[in-house]
Structure 1
Amino acid sequence: MVLRKVFPAMYTLSEETPACSRNATLYLLRCIFLMGVRQPPARFFIVYCLWSFALNLSSTFYQPIAFLTGYISHLSEFSPGEFLTSLQVAFNALSCSIKVLIVWAFVKHLDEANNILDEMDKRLTKPSERLRVHRAVSRSNRIFFFYMAVYILYATNTLIAAIVMGKPLYQNYYPYLDWRSSSWNLGLQMGLEYFAMAGACLQDVCVDCYPVNFVLVLRAHMSIFADRLRQLGKDPDVSHEKRYEQLVQCIQDHKTILRFVDCLRPVISGTIFVQFLVVGLVLGFTLINIVLFANLGSAIAALFFMTAVLLETTPFCILCNYLTDDCYNLAIALFQSNWIDGKQRYKKTLMYFLQKLQQPITFMAMNAFPISVGTNIIVTKFSFSVFTLVKQMNIAEKLSKADEEDKLN
């Protein structure tokens, strides 16, 4: 009951309540605000600027540099498991920083997309239509909090593992801070790493979950639109002129859907492309770490990390495949409408519209390859290639022997 009062958009409203599709991204946009990439509010201008500076300095800009500098400074002190744990996160942190900058550059597109959703909501007149949107809104917000739970659990698990082992898990480089010199410095190093990683997880949730949130509510509107197309011309009391006006209105609805998609394309194209580039490599390092080097605590953290990495692309790729099917269903729904006894003008317009509906809505990753389940499987399979390469070259055994020799010396 308390949870419902705090997060009401997580729950499905009644069909009498007016539809508000933008609520599907309510908590997402609040977290994007916390990322410090929005225009500072006048009332808390200084506080917001300071928070934005601290978070983005530690998580967006310095964290990838801290990983690299840590490798250069203390590479010989890493065990194989610690090195792979740090390396897998380093690649993902770099990709996260790039995705944050992309969202930062196109954040106004998300606001514009919500404005278009408001236009779609005006066309919802039936209780069943409003209920369908309410369900999509609640599902979207629950998925957002699921993402948040997985990502934050990973960050917290790595902190616990670091405390148990008595050393920072990533061993990032911070100027004038030697965590080996005292327990105070060790605690400060762990705290700085956790703040940077928790901030990166918050950012990652936003840049990975926004496509899912927007496309889920889009699919609800497309399902309603399909029913609207199917009912065209089936009311015997409607005149031919009125039927033609209804068809033209449906064409306008379709244009609104395409505007919504075009609004999201630049953001989605960039962020998914970056993730596709690193997902196979990151998963490969994680598999090697889990199978060959990790202890129980590190293995649990790595499993949470692997789940988080798979969440970055897989759900949206599945939705893209469903979106293609939805487009074909729109064409089928229009064909199933009562167009046989329509006038010539009505039939010609309908045939032109039918051709447009048969063109599926697709998202491309920087115009290089389509975002789909097939592409996701291809890039994910690369992780097994990385694992196989390491096994065949006996790199794991060489690293283990080198680590044992260093301990003996």
Structure 2
Amino acid sequence: MLMRQIDTIAIFRRLFITWRVLGIILWPFNKYLRIVYDLLMNIFVTFGFPLHLVLGIIFSTNQEQFFINLVIGIASVSCTLKHLLLRYRLSEMLMVNEILARLDERVHTNTDYDYYKRFIERPCNFMINFFTRCYFAVSITALLTALVTGELLYPAFVPLAWRTSISQYIVAILFQFAGVSLQIVQNIANDAYGPVVLCMLSGHVHLLANRVSRVSHSSEENIAGNSTDLALCIEDHKLLRSTSNTVERIVSASYLVQFVGVGINLCIGLVYLLFFADNYFAYVYYSLHVTAIMIELFPCCYFGSMLECEFHDLSYAIFRSNWPTQPRAFRRNVVNFTELTLREVTLYAGGMIRINLDSFFATCKMGYSFFTVIQSMK
């Protein structure tokens, strides 16, 4: 028997710190102060920072500034849109947490606990750490580059005479660094939630398959107990399917924005790389940029495919149970349960793009096709 209890919500607590920083989830202080804080964060980060980047695109004076502003501006606007779409679904996120907490209570064996530690907790923590370190490394690198070159972090529109005044330059640098850092917090909340929740769901489906395969093996003669175990597994399956539908509603629109943003930025990066890049720094920067935006898309697609596979494998887990030795009513329920598990579970972004590895590789193929067409034009 299990002596330790799993706690998937502990992983979400780390992720929800980002929502607290953004002023969305209540801190333990006066609610009116939170509203003021939330309002200031939205004016400064959600709208102010992307606006000054978009104005930088409009007022660009050369092609290098234009492409840099365009890439950063699209990424910033996409981040804002994803943040607003996920913010609207926050109550459903909290509901999913409650459901996962209920599913945690179903784990009663050390084998399942070990699976949770290795294939749920470790990947989720890795993804949160990966997104956090990579995104903040970008902001710190941009800050160091700006201080060395005496330029802004990004060549955006800043209504200050920062080239002629050290104090105004410091103000402009602080504004951009604070803005990009807080938007990075937004982006961590946006980009890490989907892969983490899909990893947890696929893991719980696998744990359900383990429970199903063990039904009636320990006590063949305990017919009532075996029927109860099977009924609980069927209820858990229904709960996981409904939770998958809820998660699809939460991430659908934001991932549509992400797929579109990745596609546009991929094309812009390749166009600049092939037609306008004229130094090694530009080649390295945009090559890494194209690679980074593809890596950003990979985790959600990977765990979307994992969720599909785990649901598909449930029907095989049912036949690993000791169903032949059970009464006719039990076997009838097994057949009905098998019919339920044969229904395909697939998540869609915006109701159009499947969130799985097929979509990821299709995006890679699109980028390669675009690359070859542009190269032939060059």
TM-score when normalising by structure 2: 0.90
TM-fit CA distance, 1:281: 1.6
TM-fit CA distance, 1:63: 2.6
TM-fit CA distance, 1:360: 2.9
Which sections of structure 2, spanning at least 5 residues, go unmatched? none
Give the corresponding residue for 2:241.
258
Q: Which moved more, 1:293-302 or 1:188-197?
A: 293-302
Alpha-carbon separation, structure 1, partners of 2:372 and 2:227: 62
The reply to whether residue 243 of structure 1 matches residue 212 of structure 2 is no
SS in structure 2 opposite 1:331?
helix
Matched pairs, number: 375
The reply to whether residue 312 of structure 1 matches residue 312 of structure 2 is no
The question of whether the paired residues in 2 share the 8 Å contact of 1:158 and 1:301 is answered with no
Aligned pair partner of 2:115 in 132, 146, 153: 132
Aligned pair partner of 2:360 in 376, 384, 387: 376
Which sections of structure 1, spanning at least 5 residues, go unmatched? 1-14, 395-409
SS in structure 2 opposite 1:19?
coil
Describe the shift of the 1:119–1:301 C-alpha distance in structure 2 as closer, same or farther (beyond 3 A).
same
Give the corresponding residue for 1:58.
44
Alpha-carbon separation, structure 2, partners of 1:47 and 1:170: 32
Q: Deviations over 1:236-294 (max 9, x none)?
A: 44333332222111101112212322221211111111111121221232344456527
Give the corresponding residue for 2:324.
340
TM-fit CA distance, 1:64: 2.7
Aligned pair partner of 1:355 in 331, 339, 344: 339
Alpha-carbon separation, structure 2, partners of 1:162 and 1:386: 33
Alpha-carbon separation, structure 2, partners of 1:257 and 1:224: 11
Describe the shift of the 1:280–1:171 C-alpha distance in structure 2 as closer, same or farther (beyond 3 A).
same
Aligned pair partner of 1:284 in 235, 247, 267: 267
Q: Which moved more, 1:201-210 or 1:47-56?
A: 47-56
Give the corresponding residue for 1:32.
19
TM-score when normalising by structure 1: 0.84
The question of whether the paired residues in 2 share the 8 Å contact of 1:275 and 1:312 is answered with no
TM-fit CA distance, 1:221: 1.9
TM-fit CA distance, 1:37: 2.2
Task: Give the letter aligned to residue 256 of structure 2.
Answer: F
Alpha-carbon separation, structure 1, partners of 2:300 and 2:57: 34
Give the corresponding residue for 1:328.
312
Give the corresponding residue for 1:407.
none
TM-fit CA distance, 1:378: 2.1
The question of whether the paired residues in 1 share the 8 Å contact of 2:298 and 2:360 is answered with yes
Counterparts of 1:121-160 in structure 2, within 5 Å, are 121-135=104-118, 136-160=120-144
Give the corresponding residue for 1:221.
204
Task: Give the letter aligned to residue 47 of structure 2.
Answer: F
Aligned pair partner of 1:293 in 277, 280, 291: 277
Q: Deviations over 1:129-175 (max 9, x none)?
A: 2232233224312220111111111122122222333222422223x
Give the corresponding residue for 1:106.
89
Task: Give the letter aligned to residue 254 of structure 2.
Answer: T
Describe the shift of the 1:290–1:66 C-alpha distance in structure 2 as closer, same or farther (beyond 3 A).
same
Alpha-carbon separation, structure 2, partners of 1:288 and 1:358: 45
Aligned pair partner of 1:233 in 213, 216, 220: 216
Alpha-carbon separation, structure 2, partners of 1:223 and 1:260: 15
Alpha-carbon separation, structure 1, partners of 2:211 and 2:195: 24
Alpha-carbon separation, structure 2, partners of 1:304 and 1:205: 19
The question of whether the paired residues in 2 share the 8 Å contact of 1:281 and 1:386 is answered with no
The reply to whether residue 177 of structure 1 matches residue 177 of structure 2 is no
TM-fit CA distance, 1:111: 1.0
The question of whether the paired residues in 2 share the 8 Å contact of 1:290 and 1:299 is answered with yes
Give the corresponding residue for 1:404.
none
Describe the shift of the 1:289–1:156 C-alpha distance in structure 2 as closer, same or farther (beyond 3 A).
farther
Describe the shift of the 1:217–1:86 C-alpha distance in structure 2 as closer, same or farther (beyond 3 A).
same
RMSD: 2.4
Give the corresponding residue for 1:193.
176
Describe the shift of the 1:293–1:162 C-alpha distance in structure 2 as closer, same or farther (beyond 3 A).
farther
Alpha-carbon separation, structure 2, partners of 1:260 and 1:81: 46
Describe the shift of the 1:150–1:18 C-alpha distance in structure 2 as closer, same or farther (beyond 3 A).
same
SS in structure 2 opposite 1:313?
helix
The question of whether the paired residues in 1 share the 8 Å contact of 2:54 and 2:69 is answered with no
Q: Deviations over 1:102-130 (max 9, x none)?
A: 11100111111110011111111112222
